[in-house]
Structure 1
Amino acid sequence: MRPFALILCLSAAACSAKTEHFPSPAALRSMEHYAIASCFAYQGQPYLKDQGDAWAAVLVQGMSLKPDDLAKIAAQVKLELGKGEMAVMRDETNPGRDKILPVQYCVEIIDKPGVREVLNKLAANSAIRG
């Protein structure tokens, strides 16, 4: 009888311990996609800008984040863009010239430390709000 009481006590203690809150993978992915879409929307090329705006609009409809949270993501993306660290390669069709790679840059923007920090904070807060 005693071993059963000990196991029951340990089980109850484990159940009452504080648990971590984790966002769903889909929620985090949607926030990452919003950051990428925002990056496209800030590009100077009309096609990328249009696609970014449209993608962001679709994402907003399916997300449960507050407008202030979305604005934080977009503001951090804009801040990163202002650093001028666009991906570049040598243009093989025009020797001696560079070719900018905004698609690569925007896809990788979620890995910039400032953007990742905002995404992680918002993801943690959205998991707590549940």
Structure 2
Amino acid sequence: MRHLITISLLFTLIFSKNLLASPINSITPLQDMTEYAMASCLYHQKSEYLQEEGNAWASIIINRMHGAIDVLTEINQAVLKASEQQKPFVVSSETSPTHDRVVYIPYCYEMASTPVVKSAIDQAAKAISKDYPQP
């Protein structure tokens, strides 16, 4: 339960500006594709819990997005490629037997900003932008 609360708080902090500023109907293709990249990153972690969270988040995005879902394949591949080059963040932890802890939320957030993933996000968002409601 503690993990769920921690993850919920982190996502709230990361996305609160976007969530409060725009209703769900005005989410842009770029927002959806960026969130999908982060969900994909979570899904590809070793933790079953993170995999389930990533899968659930990806499902939410797929259900609300407009346009063909095949654009997600390139993002997923870019995330896998970037994960080979970027290692997760490690912080010190008094509760861990090794005195360190891997922190995946900021890792996946940063992963979406790497050049290879950002390029895939931008291409996917451009490909489906015509299918989204225009402001």
* Alignment of 1:59 onto 2:61: yes
Give the structure 1 partner of residue 87 of structure 2: 85
Instruction: Please tell me the root mean square deviation across aligned C-alpha atoms, in Å.
Output: 2.2
Q: What is the distance in 2 between the residues matched to 1:47 and 1:73?
A: 22
Q: How many residues align?
A: 107
Give the structure 1 partner of residue 40 of structure 2: 38
Judge which range, 79-88 or 120-129, deviates more.
120-129
Q: Which amino acid counterpart does residue 119 of structure 1 have in structure 2? A: I
Cα distance 1:123–1:94, how it changes in 2: closer, same or farther (>3 A)? closer
Q: How does 1:18-37 map to 2 (within 5 A)?
A: 26-37=28-39
Q: Which amino acid counterpart does residue 110 of structure 2 have in structure 1? A: E
> Which secondary structure does the structure 1 equivalent of 2:91 belong to?
strand
Gaps spanning 5+ residues in structure 1: where?
Answer: 1-23
Residues 11-46 of structure 1 deviation map (CA, whole Å, 9 limit, x = unaligned)? xxxxxxxxxxxxx76221011111111111111111
TM-score for both structures, normalised by structure 2:
0.68
> Which secondary structure does the structure 1 equivalent of 2:28 belong to?
helix
Residues 69-88 of structure 1 deviation map (CA, whole Å, 9 limit, x = unaligned)? 11111111111112242111
